[in-house]
Chains A and B, each alone.
Chain A
Amino acid sequence: MGKTIAEKIFDTHLVDKPFGDVSVLRLDRVFCHEITTPIAIQDLVARGKDRVFDPEKIKAVIDHVSPAKDSKTAMQGKIMREWAIRHNIKDFFDIGENGVCHALFPEKGFVRPGFTIIMGDSHTCTHGAFGAFAAGVGTTDLEVGILKGVCTFKQPETFKIEITGALRPGVYAKDIILEVIRQISVNGATNMVIEFTGPVVDAMGMNQRMTLANMAVEAGATSGLCLPDMTTVAYLWPFIKDEFKTPEDALAQYSQFCSDPDAVYAKTKTIDVSNLEPLATFGFKPDNVKPVSQMTDTRVDQVYIGSCTNGRIEDLREAAAEVAGKKINPGVRAIVSPATPDIFSAALDEGLIKTFMDAGFCVTNPTCGACLGMSNGVLAEGEVAASTTNRNFNGRMGKGGMVHLVSPATAAATALHGVLTHSERFKN
């Protein structure tokens, strides 16, 4: 019987099965940020176990509130910084080099097909775009990951979602994942891994695949994987060129993890996106999704473009194309936050930052801040945002605030009009 990519990764990383249904896996990477790691560090210290399993395999960043906004967040950064120095964790990204973890770590080349990765962050599933089993965990799991390089998971079943058809202009990976979540619901893939396949996924670049995988957790999934292919290898090539003679050799090695044709899936679903429209969420659950065209009377106070979902260079290009030479609506505050310094720098070189500023956007440094209502764009009570982020929970971007999740192009068009609006490039 054939195996899925998730099953193959589990097989190659299995350390123990202490109780039948639970697999203890060896970890290739433990990623850390300053919100969930400091308590793990302090607990290890308190237990007399202030050690790390392998400083090379631990990668750390200060990203959620950066620069620190108050004494408490400054202390979280300080705990991380001192810990990284103490344990010789070389890949530690502090202010000036830091960016949103799930954009920064792939960019640094830390992810490989077939890897196991955990982080104390639910959107760790993003790295599944590379064909890795990457899962968000809590602080206790993170703590054990740091200490021992292992983590437990139940053998996840796989939900195969095949994306077919051809996207219309103005419709993006973000719209696809919103449609997936609408169809399968917020717990449609709980305790499962989603495997994204099909010609539309095959044609996507890595940045779009990351947008897709990023929101797998909003459908409850443990991870969201894409199968490694030449697109994956081409992205990774600068980091792996000394390991392989040719990209084809690399692909041959990575392909061993690809799901077998006779692999068994718990569920399968095919979604034809040919007629898909630009979408937006309504209400407070990410599976409350409607076409933007049905919500054009929805006024917004703030537009936010950024985050681990949609703060990458392609996202900024799509948004800038929308606002080039125009002014945002006077009733709207618009914020763009390039997700990493490299993205920021590329956006500067390409003139995108000037385009945003001329249109009336506020450009902020890379940080997660606004997405979870911590800094750099918190909503007031009763305010409404159109945002390229990943969660529309009640109060997510600020107590009493409401969030409509949209693509970067839709967010930018909305900034121009002051009400939810899709890109002019989309013709219904």
Chain B
Amino acid sequence: MKEFEGNMLCLDRADINTDEIIPAKYLTESSKSALKPHLLEDLVLDGFNPETDLKDVRVIVSRGNFGCGSSREHAPWALEVNDINVVIAPSFARIFRQNMFNCGMMAIELPDEKVQALFELGAGKKAQLCVDLENDILIVTDGSGKELTLEFSISEFDKTLVKTGGWVEFADKNY
């Protein structure tokens, strides 16, 4: 199972699309690791610099419809090779969300107000987030001692994919 904790990065815009996560020109790469320097390089967002702000990030928090657009699994892979295994948002595009869990990664949906609470605690600060998969809670600390605990839920199927490392082995064994 992958690791689901560490520094949190807040990206304050809805509809961040797969072309912004990894531009199509890199889809000719045949290895996941080649995607590493190009994560979010086309995202134009006030106060965000992909060259410096992704360092040591482990969790991304964003707004609704994250991952819309293309079916490219290169989007989760670009996150994965940067050791970012969790994205939290009010909603996800279907294919992106499925791709995350298929890779044993997590796309956690939270109501707007909980996402807002994460933004208030984490935006522009050195906040850390830990996913407790046994108790279905997220624990967030902002570095100044403030702590926030939020419940979340994912389906039994999604949890199984996260725990077993993805859909290929599960499907080959069962079908």
Contact = CB atoms under 8 A, between A and B. Distances in A.
Are A and B genuine complex partners?
A: yes
A144 B174 CA distance: 11
Size category, A interface: 35 or more
Contact of B91 (A120, A148, A187): A187
Interface stretch (A109-117, A164-172, A337-345, A389-397): A389-397
Interface stretch (A34-42, A126-134, A202-210): A34-42
B15 A140 contact: no
Contact of B73 (A18, A22, A47, A140): A140
A141 B98 contact: yes
B109 to A, nearest CB: 11
Nearest to B28: A72
Contacts, number: 146
Contacts of A120: 71, 73
A122 B98 CA distance: 13
Interface in B143-175: 155-157, 160, 166-168, 171-172, 174-175
A222 B71 CA distance: 11
B163 to A, nearest CB: 13
Given A15-B175, A399-B42, A137 B71 contact: yes
A7 interface: no
A373 B30 CA distance: 18
* Size class of the B contact interface (CB-based, 8 Å): 35 or more
A121 B168 contact: no
A374 B71 contact: no
B94 A220 contact: yes
B94 A222 contact: yes
Contacts of A396: 19, 24
Nearest to B104: A140
A75 B27 CA distance: 12
A24 B167 CA distance: 12
Interface string A375-401: 000000000000000010111100100
B9 interface: no
B98 A137 contact: yes
B95 to A, nearest CB: 6
A393 B156 CA distance: 34
A187 B67 CA distance: 11
A120 B20 CA distance: 19
A250 to B, nearest CB: 31
Given A36-B71, A122-B71, A372-B24, A19 B98 contact: no
Nearest to A43: B168
Given A36-B71, A187-B15, A147 B171 contact: yes
Given A147-B172, A150-B171, A395-B19, A187 B73 contact: no
Interface string B38-75: 00001010000000000000000000110011111100
A291 to B, nearest CB: 23
A225 B75 CA distance: 27
Interface string B8-43: 000000010101100111011110000000000010
B103 interface: yes
Contacts of B95: 122, 136-138
Interface string A15-39: 1101111101000000000011011
Contacts of A410: none
Interface string A136-179: 11111101100110101000000000000000000000000000
A307 interface: no
B102 interface: yes
Given A137-B95, A141-B167, A187 B30 contact: no
A159 to B, nearest CB: 13
Nearest to B24: A372
A220 B65 contact: yes
Contacts of A79: 30
Contacts of B7: none
Nearest to A368: B24
A19 B30 contact: no
A76 interface: yes
Contacts of B17: 393
Given A140-B103, A147-B172, A393-B17, A72 B157 contact: no
A187 B65 contact: yes
B128 interface: no
Contact of A140 (B70, B155, B168): B168
A120 B27 CA distance: 12
Contact of A190 (B23, B93, B155, B166): B93
Contact of B94 (A19, A22, A186, A191): A191
Given A220-B93, A220-B94, A16 B42 contact: no
Given A137-B98, A220-B68, 18 more contacts: A19-B155, A35-B28, A36-B73, A39-B73, A72-B28, A72-B29, A73-B28, A140-B73, A140-B168, A148-B171, A148-B172, A148-B175, A190-B91, A220-B93, A372-B19, A374-B25, A394-B44, A399-B42
Interface of A: 15-16, 18-22, 24, 35-36, 38-39, 42-43, 47, 49, 64-65, 70, 72-73, 75-76, 79, 119-122, 124, 136-141, 143-144, 147-148, 150, 152, 186-187, 190-191, 220, 222, 285, 372-374, 391, 393-396, 399
24 contacts: A22-B155, A39-B30, A39-B73, A47-B168, A49-B168, A73-B28, A76-B28, A137-B95, A137-B98, A138-B71, A138-B76, A140-B166, A141-B98, A144-B171, A186-B68, A187-B65, A187-B68, A190-B94, A191-B94, A220-B93, A372-B24, A373-B23, A395-B20, A395-B42
